[in-house]
């Protein structure tokens, strides 16, 4: 009996503290729930706005379609009255009359009319008539003049619009935002310095002979792949350009990416060894390929 009473007395503080602990836990979880709700709110608002935009656009298109059909039906129904109005002398030759003529089947406003007046030029049975250019052609020509003036002012006078080079640079900057900026970003060049320690170059040589000699030769003279000992490079001769080429490969030319087969240290060792081959002039060297680059001097020691 005493033991049971002691247990009850011991559990009484815990029972009294339980509601307080639950309240504290609820208060601690509230900020996380609020943050999740706040993050979901913009997404929900964006979805609702997009739905409303497409709904209004579809409604506008439907209204325009209905009005267009009603207009066509009205013209068909009133075609005899419109033709009688068009044939009036005071209406027929006016610009508004020509617009009216389009509704009743006379396309003179667009195609023009033949004068059937000879110019007096006759050669080998070919005669020339004094007919004006079709109005549609003249209107198109006038439009090109206005467009050319506007284009010149917009791009070359006020510099409001970006030219092709500026547009290209802007698009490249936007594309770079979509690419991760970590070590697996092929657009991000590393800032390594070439390794010059003997063990690193020996390790790079061993890796080169094992993995690269089949295409570039045991001495870098070039076989299927280019010569790696001259001043000419297809993808850059700096150690960081060579590192990038080894890591990501050039799949369009048959060179595989080695980032999944060699570690970053091993790739740098191979790139450093390739740098050390510059100017060795091995026998049977392949002809130069790519762009010539000025020698960068002896490789610097890596930190």
Tens of pLDDT along 97-119? 778 777 787 777 777 776 677 77
Report the pLDDT value the prediction gives residue 26, as an integer from 0 to 100: 56
Q: What is the mean pLDDT of residues 175-203?
A: 79
Angle among Cα 196, 190, 289 to the nearest 5 degrees reads 75
Residue 78 lies in a domain: yes
User: Where in the sequence is the domain holding 134, given as residue range(s)?
Assistant: 118-161
Residue 202 lies in a domain: yes
Residue 210 shares a structural domain with residue 286: yes
Residue 181 lies in a domain: no
Residue 100 shares a structural domain with residue 128: no
Residue 122 lies in a domain: yes
- Distance, in Å, from the CA atom of 175 to the CA atom of 181, rounded to the nearest integer, reads 12
**Helix, strand or coil, per DSSP, at residue 122:** strand
Cβ(155)–Cβ(161) below 8 Å: yes
Q: What is the mean pLDDT of residues 258-273?
A: 92
Give the tokens for residue 139.
């209107």
Give the tokens for residue 82.
């419109």
Residue 157 lies in a domain: yes
Considering only residues 106 and 230, tell me which one the structure prediction assigns the higher pLDDT: 230
Cβ(233)–Cβ(262) below 8 Å: no
Residue 86 shares a structural domain with residue 145: no
Residue 125 shares a structural domain with residue 98: no
The structural domain count of the chain equals 3
Residue 131 shares a structural domain with residue 102: no
Residue 207 shares a structural domain with residue 267: yes
Q: Is the pLDDT of residue 182 over 80?
A: no
Positions of E strands within the chain: 118-123, 126-129, 232-233, 291-292
Residue 22 lies in a domain: no
Considering only residues 232 and 46, tell me which one the structure prediction assigns the higher pLDDT: 232
Among the listed ranges 27-36, 68-77, 186-195, which one has the minimum average pLDDT value? 27-36
Q: Is the pLDDT of residue 209 over 90?
A: yes
Residue 79 lies in a domain: yes
As a dihedral over the C-alpha atoms of residue 102, residue 103, residue 106, residue 110, rounded to 10 degrees, the angle is: 10
Residue 210 shares a structural domain with residue 126: no
Non-local CB neighbours of 1 within 8 Å, separated by 6+ positions: none
Residue 212 shares a structural domain with residue 144: no
Residue 47 lies in a domain: no
Give the model's confidence band at 95: pLDDT under 50 very low, under 70 low, under 90 confident, else very high.
Answer: confident
DSSP annotation of 227 reads P
Domain stops at, among 111, 129, 150: 111
Question: What's the mean per-residue pLDDT of the chain?
Answer: 80
Positions of E strands within 60-206: 118-123, 126-129
Q: Is the pLDDT of residue 76 over 50?
A: yes
DSSP annotation of 120 reads E
Give the model's confidence band at 301: pLDDT under 50 very low, under 70 low, under 90 confident, else very high.
Answer: very low
Residue 224 shares a structural domain with residue 279: yes
Domain stops at, among 77, 111, 145: 111
Among the listed ranges 19-23, 92-96, 225-229, 256-260, which one has the minimum average pLDDT value? 19-23
């Amino acid at each position: 009996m005493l033991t049971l009473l002691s247990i009850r007395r011991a559990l009484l503080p815990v029972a009294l503290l339980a509601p307080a602990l639950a309240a504290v836990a609820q208060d601690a979880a509230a900020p996380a729930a609020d943050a999740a709700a706040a993050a979901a709110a913009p997404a929900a608002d964006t979805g609702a706005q997009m739905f409303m935009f497409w709904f209004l656009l579809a409604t506008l298109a439907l209204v325009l379609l209905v009005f267009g059909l009603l207009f066509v039906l009205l013209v068909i129904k009133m075609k005899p009255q419109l033709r009688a109005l068009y044939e009036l002398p005071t209406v027929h030759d006016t610009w508004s009359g020509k617009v009216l003529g389009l509704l009743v089947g006379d396309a003179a406003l667009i195609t023009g009319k033949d004068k059937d007046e000879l110019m007096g030029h006759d050669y080998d049975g070919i005669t020339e008539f004094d007919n004006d250019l079709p109005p549609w052609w003249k209107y198109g020509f006038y439009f090109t003049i206005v467009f050319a003036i506007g284009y010149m002012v917009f791009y070359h006078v006020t510099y409001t619009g970006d030219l092709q080079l500026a547009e290209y640079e802007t698009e490249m900057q936007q594309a770079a935002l979509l690419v991760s900026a970590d070590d697996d970003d092929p657009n991000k060049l590393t800032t390594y310095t070439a390794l010059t320690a003997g063990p690193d170059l020996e390790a790079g040589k061993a890796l080169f002979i094992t993995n690269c000699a089949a295409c570039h030769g045991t001495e870098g003279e070039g076989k299927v792949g280019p010569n790696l000992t001259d001043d000419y490079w297809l993808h850059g001769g700096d150690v960081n350009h060579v590192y990038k080429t080894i890591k990501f490969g050039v799949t369009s030319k048959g060179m595989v990416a080695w980032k999944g087969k060699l570690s970053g240290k091993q790739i740098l060792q191979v790139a450093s060894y390739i740098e050390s081959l510059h100017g060795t002039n091995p026998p049977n060297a392949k002809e130069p390929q790519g762009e010539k680059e000025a020698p960068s001097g002896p490789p610097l020691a890596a930190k």
